[in-house]
């Protein structure tokens, strides 16, 4: 009887070995499911052989069935406690399940039994993952989600099927506004692990940080209804509710023109969750609008900057910032913002083109010379004021009086030309009227056609003072002027007080005259088409001519 029993056992062992060998062949070919079936048959024939369990565990490890692998490893180790292969498969199963702290002592045990390079490396890796996970949880508690995400993604690459790690990864992706990635991560979790209690929480976060607060509140509220102890769902729901309440009150105050109150509630809304980028982008834009209504454009621009930093596709922030930049005189910045609005919102193209055209007109207006400023007179200056100003400045900046050095000479040349140009425009009623209407004298294609300003400043000077425009300046004497309709010529003699009366002497006679007029405007004979800006015959002189 004993012999027969032993023979039967030997036969079963032989059959078990045959199944094991078949399993090994399948395993080598990567047919892990078939291999596991053969090892299963071997176990049925011989339940106390640790290698059969160990080999099937290897199949489950390759098939990512980590829980089954763990169970087989524990059975194998109960039969062979110090088998390094069994220990390694158990440690890896725990690691891939995300049970890092449970895996750590097993990797340490392996190193004590086996000093191979692989064992040392894997032991170091598990320590690094545990350290990263601890730091990631600290970052999460501190709401430093971007930093936490970097650490968690590093762990997730090592343990892609660890559901707890994937849930943390999904949460961080949502809280950092990586909405598409978060949605894909949630889909993978559901496909691999089925319905979970965390599903409502993750779905709610994705909607909340994706810019759909109402939908988020509905999902989170349902999660709380399903499980009243779901603290994460409850906290997220309360956060969404607070944000929405503060935003609504801020909007009500804004619409009621109570701008300071609106700013207060928008600020409260921003303080609820600094990481809700889309929501906060909208709130910064609204608070900036309240500052804008209060004419505090610098604070408004600051808020619009923050809004765009959080969501660079939010066209309203660009539009409002452009309006405030315009008011602050930053025309280039305003134009850039309005162009961006055209890119982001097709419905605003016509409105933005009008704004850009307004900016272009204003830029042209600002770029033209201010002739009133050049002559140091105000816009209501009389003809006499303009002549007096030219007389003073032309003498002050005449190149012959500014020869100290090359720099002073260049400055004088520029000033002398600008003064002459300003006088040529402002002393002419028609040109002055065009200039006051916004015509740019440097833009011949301007709205009123422009006007010629390429004048010779020396000629203006000669015509104004009646001299040749050159020479030194002492008491400012001019040479004789003869020819034309002046038989024998005439001579002007006067002192530096150019605004006073002088004497025109011809032979033994003399008659008074006054600077400040135009011969051609006196209507006297003998001066056809010839004028001297700055000189005017008195009534007594005109009578003598007759």
Query: Closest Cα partner for 186 from 221, 370, 198, 511?
Result: 198
Question: Is 479 part of a structural domain of the chain?
Answer: no
Looking at the fold, whether 386 and 360 belong to one and the same domain comes out as: no
Name the pLDDT band for 8 (thresholds 50, 70, 90): low
Looking at the fold, whether 389 and 441 belong to one and the same domain comes out as: yes
| Weakest mean pLDDT among 265-269, 347-351, 532-536 | 532-536
| Weakest mean pLDDT among 296-310, 427-441, 453-467 | 453-467
Identify the H or E element spanning 13.
Answer: helix 2-28
Distance CA 239, CA 241 (A): 5
Looking at the fold, whether 6 and 118 belong to one and the same domain comes out as: yes
Distance CA 371, CA 377 (A): 9
| Weakest mean pLDDT among 46-60, 142-156, 269-283, 482-496 | 482-496
CATH code where residue 394 lies: 1.10.287
- Greater pLDDT, 520 or 255: 255
Name the pLDDT band for 4 (thresholds 50, 70, 90): low
Alpha-helical runs (H) found in 142-230 = 145-158, 163-175, 179-193, 198-209, 213-226
Looking at the fold, whether 118 and 146 belong to one and the same domain comes out as: no
Query: Could you tell me how far CA 115 lies from the centroid of its own chain?
Result: 55
Beta bridge partners of 515: 535
Query: Could you tell me how far CA 464 lies from the centroid of its own chain?
Result: 56
| Weakest mean pLDDT among 127-131, 254-258, 391-395, 522-526 | 522-526
Distance CA 110, CA 471 (A): 107
Question: Is 388 part of a structural domain of the chain?
Answer: yes
User: At which of 425, 448, 473 does a domain end?
Assistant: 473
Name the pLDDT band for 454 (thresholds 50, 70, 90): low
Residues whose CB is less than 8 angstroms from the CB of residue 261 and which lie 6 or more positions away in sequence, other chains included: 253
Name the pLDDT band for 450 (thresholds 50, 70, 90): low
Q: Give percent of the chain with pLDDT exceeding 90.
A: 70
DSSP string covering 27-88: HHTT-HHHHHHHHHHHHHH-TT-HHHHHHHHHHHHHTT-HHHHHHHHHHHHHHSTT-HHHHH
Looking at the fold, whether 361 and 437 belong to one and the same domain comes out as: no
Distance CA 330, CA 350 (A): 22
CATH code where residue 103 lies: 1.25.40.10
- Greater pLDDT, 496 or 439: 439
The string over 467-489, giving b where at least 16 C-beta atoms fall within 10 Å of a residue's C-beta and e elsewhere, is bebeeeeeeeebeeeeeeeeeee
Q: Does pLDDT of 143 surpass 50?
A: yes
Question: Is 373 part of a structural domain of the chain?
Answer: no
**Which of helix, strand or coil describes residue 230?**
coil
**Which of helix, strand or coil describes residue 487?**
strand
- Greater pLDDT, 200 or 542: 200
Mean of the per-residue pLDDT values for the chain?
A: 85
Looking at the fold, whether 150 and 84 belong to one and the same domain comes out as: no
Beta bridge partners of 535: 515
* Prediction pTM value: 0.65
Instruction: Tell me if 466 sits within 8 A of 534, measured CB to CB.
Output: yes
Name the pLDDT band for 467 (thresholds 50, 70, 90): low
The 3-class secondary structure across 455-488, one letter per residue, is CCHHHHHHHHHCCCCCCCCCCCCCCCEEECCEEE
At residue 1, the pLDDT reads: 52
Instruction: Tell me if 399 sits within 8 A of 412, measured CB to CB.
Output: yes
Residue span of the structural domain in which 450 resides: 380-473
Question: Is 478 part of a structural domain of the chain?
Answer: no
User: At which of 122, 148, 169 does a domain end?
Assistant: 122
What count of residues does the chain have? 546
Question: Is 35 part of a structural domain of the chain?
Answer: yes
Alpha-helical runs (H) found in 427-494 = 429-436, 457-465
At residue 490, the pLDDT reads: 36
Looking at the fold, whether 429 and 528 belong to one and the same domain comes out as: no
Residue range 177-197, pLDDT digits in tens: 999 999 999 999 999 888 888
Looking at the fold, whether 323 and 280 belong to one and the same domain comes out as: yes
Structurally, the chain folds into a number of domains equal to 5
Looking at the fold, whether 233 and 184 belong to one and the same domain comes out as: yes
| Weakest mean pLDDT among 131-145, 148-162, 330-344, 477-491 | 477-491
At residue 210, the pLDDT reads: 94
Looking at the fold, whether 9 and 105 belong to one and the same domain comes out as: yes
Looking at the fold, whether 305 and 361 belong to one and the same domain comes out as: yes
Question: Is 87 part of a structural domain of the chain?
Answer: yes
Instruction: Tell me if 56 sits within 8 A of 40, measured CB to CB.
Output: yes
At residue 153, the pLDDT reads: 96
Looking at the fold, whether 405 and 353 belong to one and the same domain comes out as: no
Distance CA 177, CA 401 (A): 70
User: At which of 313, 333, 367 does a domain end?
Assistant: 367
CA distances from 331 to 71, 73, 117, 318, 357 (A): 72, 73, 66, 14, 11
Question: Is 451 part of a structural domain of the chain?
Answer: yes
214-226 average pLDDT score: 94
The 3-class secondary structure across 370-436, one letter per residue, is CHHHHHCCCCCCCHHHHHHHHHHHHHHHCHHHCCCCHHHHHHHHHHHHHHHHHHHHHCCHHHHHHHH
At residue 443, the pLDDT reads: 60
Name the pLDDT band for 451 (thresholds 50, 70, 90): low
Identify the H or E element spanning 234.
Answer: helix 231-255
Residue range 375-385, pLDDT digits in tens: 999 999 999 99
Question: Is 265 part of a structural domain of the chain?
Answer: no
Distance CA 494, CA 222 (A): 101
At residue 284, the pLDDT reads: 99
């Amino acid at each position: 009887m004993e012999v027969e029993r032993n023979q039967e056992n030997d036969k079963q062992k032989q059959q078990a070995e045959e199944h094991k060998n078949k399993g090994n062949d399948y395993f080598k070919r990567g047919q892990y499911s078939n291999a596991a079936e053969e090892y299963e048959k071997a176990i049925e024939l011989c339940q106390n052989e640790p290698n059969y369990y160990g080999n099937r565990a290897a199949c489950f490890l390759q098939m990512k069935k980590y829980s089954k692998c763990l169970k087989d490893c524990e059975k194998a180790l109960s039969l062979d406690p110090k088998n390094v292969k069994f220990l390694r498969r158990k440690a890896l199963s725990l690691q891939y399940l995300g049970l890092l702290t449970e895996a750590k002592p097993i990797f340490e045990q392996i190193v004590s039994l086996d000093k191979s390079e692989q064992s040392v490396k894997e032991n170091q890796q598990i320590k690094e993952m545990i350290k990263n996970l601890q730091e990631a949880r600290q970052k999460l508690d501190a709401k430093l989600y971007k930093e936490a995400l970097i650490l968690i993604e590093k762990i997730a690459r090592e343990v892609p099927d660890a559901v707890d790690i994937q849930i943390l990864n999904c949460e961080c992706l949502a809280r950092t506004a990586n909405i598409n990635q978060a949605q894909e991560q949630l889909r993978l979790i559901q496909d691999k692990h089925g319905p979970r209690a965390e599903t409502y929480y993750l779905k709610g976060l994705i909607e909340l940080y994706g810019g759909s607060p109402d939908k988020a509140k509905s999902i989170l509220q349902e999660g709380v209804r399903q499980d009243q102890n779901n603290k994460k769902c409850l906290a997220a729901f309360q956060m969404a509710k607070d944000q929405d309440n503060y935003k609504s009150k801020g909007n009500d105050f804004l619409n009621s023109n109570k701008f300071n109150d609106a700013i207060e509630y928008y600020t409260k809304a921003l303080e609820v969750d600094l990481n809700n980028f889309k929501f906060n982008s909208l709130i910064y834009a609204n608070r900036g609008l309240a500052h804008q209504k209060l004419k505090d454009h610098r604070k408004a621009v600051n808020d619009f900057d923050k809004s765009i930093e959080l969501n660079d596709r939010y066209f309203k922030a660009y539009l409002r910032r452009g309006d405030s930049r315009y008011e602050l005189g930053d025309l280039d910045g305003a134009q850039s913002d309005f162009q961006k609005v055209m890119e982001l919102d097709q419905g605003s193209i016509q409105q933005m083109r009008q704004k850009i055209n307004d900016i272009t007109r204003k830029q042209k207006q600002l770029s033209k010379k201010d002739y009133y400023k050049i002559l140091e007179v105000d816009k209501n200056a009389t003809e006499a004021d303009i002549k007096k100003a030219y007389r003073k400045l032309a003498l002050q900046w005449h190149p012959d009086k500014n020869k100290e050095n090359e720099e002073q000479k260049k400055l004088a040349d520029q000033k002398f030309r600008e003064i002459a140009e300003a006088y040529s425009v402002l002393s002419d009623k028609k040109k002055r009227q065009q200039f006051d209407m916004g015509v740019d004298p440097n833009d011949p294609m301007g709205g009123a056609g422009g006007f010629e300003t390429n004048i010779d400043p020396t000629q203006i000077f000669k015509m104004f003072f009646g001299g040749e425009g050159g020479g030194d300046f002492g008491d400012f004497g001019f040479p004789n002027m003869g020819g034309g309709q002046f038989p024998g010529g005439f001579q002007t003699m006067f002192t530096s007080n150019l605004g006073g009366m002088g004497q025109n002497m011809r032979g033994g006679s003399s008659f008074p005259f006054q600077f400040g007029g135009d011969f051609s405007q006196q209507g006297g004979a003998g001066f056809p088409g010839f004028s001297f800006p700055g000189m005017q015959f008195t009534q007594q002189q005109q009578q003598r001519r007759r």
